[in-house]
Amino acid sequence: MTLIKRGTIKSYDAGGHVATVQMAGSLMVYLDAIPVATDIPAAEVVAGRDCTVVFFGQAHDPDDAVIAAVQGALPAEPVDTFLELTDTPGSYGGQGSRAVRVNVAESALEFATIGGGGSKIEDADADTKVDVEESADEDKVRMDVAGSERFVLQAASPQLKVTGALLTTEHIAGKGVSDYEYGTDTGSDDHALLTGRYADLAAATNRVQVFGDSLFGERFDWPEVEAVHDRLRQVDDRNLTTVAEVEDRADAVLRKAELRSASGEITVPVNCGQELYDVVEVTDAVAGLSAAKRRVLGLALEYSTAERAVYRQRITLGAV
């Protein structure tokens, strides 16, 4: 049963938006912590003002009541603009062409340079960026890093310009953990093996000499040298200007030769999770292989809807 009664506000707690009320007709009955309707502004809940209390159950139970109106209270002003929200910036000044994003603390919104007027993406201090229109209608993609232009892509020749140190890729590092197993039936990562062919050969190169810009570096694969004597490859690249670059190139050449020393190919049911350069284990009793680790150097999908349908994957293997 809903009851509506009159009372007088005695005190107010802004933290919980609740009030203590003396009920009309009683000098002794004070009800504590009655919730105040959310549309009544805190500034209007003033001690001494009369109020209307709605009870949704038993009378005098503050847990089942709400202050629905306060005498003389003005309604809360509606929030009409973005800036009036409590967790947004306070001004649009200086924020032209910037976008709104959640701050790092994930507690409010802030302005940030994301679109840069529709032509660029840049970091907070604007020294690392991608710009597609540095000047009007130039139609070039420019990339700056720490204040220096490092990359330009354009229609005119040269179409690609890279400034700075030599662009390199790292050689593949070995690892002992396999991503998938083929030819066994002992685990959740196992996959059937349909066919296989394998070869373990001596590396085509086991000694590398690299000549850079007035620099020389040399690397050996000693176990291979002891097995088949040295198989030398020489590299001349005057773009290499430091000892570290020369040695890295030599290591990369040896690593590539090592990867190619164990070759082969297996045919398996399609494994959609298989990726290039994963390490796999191959068990093939006919070939005498048991959990032999190989690296994936190539992937091919065979699919045919002919009379004898085919749906399988060929995996080219190399050394780990």
Range of the structural domain that residue 25 is part of: 3-70
Predicted confidence (pLDDT) per residue in 30-64, tens digit: 899 999 998 888 989 999 999 999 998 776 788 88
Residue 78 lies in a domain: no
Predicted confidence (pLDDT) per residue in 11-20, tens digit: 999 989 999 9
* Residue listed under structure tokens 């609740």: 18
Q: Which residues lie below 8 Å from residue 60, measured CB to CB, with a gap of 6+?
A: 23, 29, 31
| 191 and 154 co-located in one domain | no
- Compute the distance between CA of residue 258 and CA of residue 236 in angstroms, rounded to an integer: 21
Predicted confidence (pLDDT) per residue in 284-296, tens digit: 999 999 999 999 9
Residue 79 lies in a domain: no
CATH of the domain at 59: 2.40.50.230
| 199 and 304 co-located in one domain | yes
Q: What pLDDT shows up at residue 313?
A: 96
pTM greater than the 0.85 cutoff: no
What does pLDDT average to over the chain?
Answer: 86
| 145 and 257 co-located in one domain | no
- Compute the distance between CA of residue 142 and CA of residue 132 in angstroms, rounded to an integer: 6
Asked if residue 299 has pLDDT above 90, the reply is yes
Asked if residue 114 has pLDDT above 70, the reply is no
Q: What pLDDT shows up at residue 235?
A: 95
Residue 298 lies in a domain: yes
Q: What pLDDT shows up at residue 116?
A: 46
Q: What pLDDT shows up at residue 150?
A: 85
How many domains does one find in the chain? 3
Structure-model confidence comparison of residues 103 and 171, the more confident one: 103
